[in-house]
Every structure is written in C-alpha cells, then in structure tokens.
Amino acid sequence: MPQWITKPANQAVVAGDPLKVEYEIGANATAAKMLPGRVVIHDDVDGTVKEAGAKAHGVVGFLDVAPDKLEADHYAVGEQAMVVKGRCIAKLTLLAAENVARGDRLVTAADGKLAKLAVGAMGGQGSVVGTAEESSNVTVDAEILVDWNPAHEPAAAA
C-alpha cells in the first residue's frame, strides 16, 4: 500500500467525496480550455460555466472527467459537464513556471489554471481555492495535488 496519494489516470478527484453539480458549458467558454481539472466560474446564463481567469472571484468549482471521455478531452460549448464544488484532494493544472511548495495557498490563473497566491492588497488577489499538497517548479504546466477548499476572500475597502 502506498504511503502517499497516487495520482490516478483519467480522473480529477483523487480523494474524498465532494459535492458535484452538473452545469452546461456556456456560450462564452473557450472549448479548448474546458478540460477536466480546470477551474470554472459562472457564465452569463444561470447554470452555465466558463473557464476562470487570473485572480477570479466567485469560483464555481473545477471540471470533472465525464465517464465517456478521457482527461485530455475538452468539453464543447453547450455540453453538460460535472463540476466539483466540494472539498477534496484533486489533481489540477498549475500554471507553467509557478514555484509552489506544500501548503502554499493557490488562486486562479488564466485559462482555469492555478497559481500561487501573491502578496498584495486584500481583494485584489482572487479567491483562495486551495493549498498545494506537493511542490512544483517546472517550466511547463503541471498537474499537482491540491487540497481543494475554496474560500471567500473579503472585498477590498472602497
């Protein structure tokens, strides 16, 4: 029996039994970026999602792998997709060239990827979505284990 979590093939949820809700891929989503393990936000119509941008607020969750798809298959606009909303250990995409250590807090980066929380003004860094469960410092996008536990960041003072 392994002493640590093994990254599974073809699934984003690694451990836990999180809340999952079916959404539709919205009209404003970029299909090529709608991949399992990518973070999504609400699109313009209720019940629809699109890829999160950098420092996003109002994160909905991350895309799960459909039973009839592979992890590398993207979702098309208008297609139904399961979105993981609840706490779990997940295999998510870290932006290339991010230097993270175990325990670092993570926020969204472009295209639904993750980045290390930077020091900055409250409300300007995006919502913390989880913590890194492993270290990474590579020049390409990396799949890392994340303790997915989205938090609500307070707004900046006006």
pLDDT greater than 50 at residue 158:
no
Query: Which amino acid does the sequence have at 140?
Result: V
- Average of per-residue pLDDT across 115-120: 83
> Residue 9's pLDDT band (boundaries 50, 70, 90)?
confident
> What predicted TM-score, i.e. pTM, was given to this entire model?
0.90
Q: Look at residue 122 in the predicted model and tell me its pLDDT.
A: 60
Question: Mind giving me the DSSP string for 24-55?
Answer: EE-TTS-GGG--TT-EEEE-SSTTEEEE--TT
Handedness of CA 152, 153, 154, 158 (dihedral sign): negative
Q: In degrees rounded to 5, what are phi and psi of residue 111?
A: 65, 25
How confident is the model over 129-151, as pLDDT tens digits? 999 999 999 999 999 999 999 87
Q: What share of the chain is helix, strand, coil (3-state, %, to 5)?
A: 5, 35, 65
Contact 115, 108 (CB under 8 A): yes
Q: In degrees rounded to 5, what are phi and psi of residue 16?
A: 110, 170
How confident is the model over 58-104, as pLDDT tens digits? 899 999 999 999 999 999 999 999 999 999 999 999 999 999 999 99
Structure tokens at 9: 């093939």
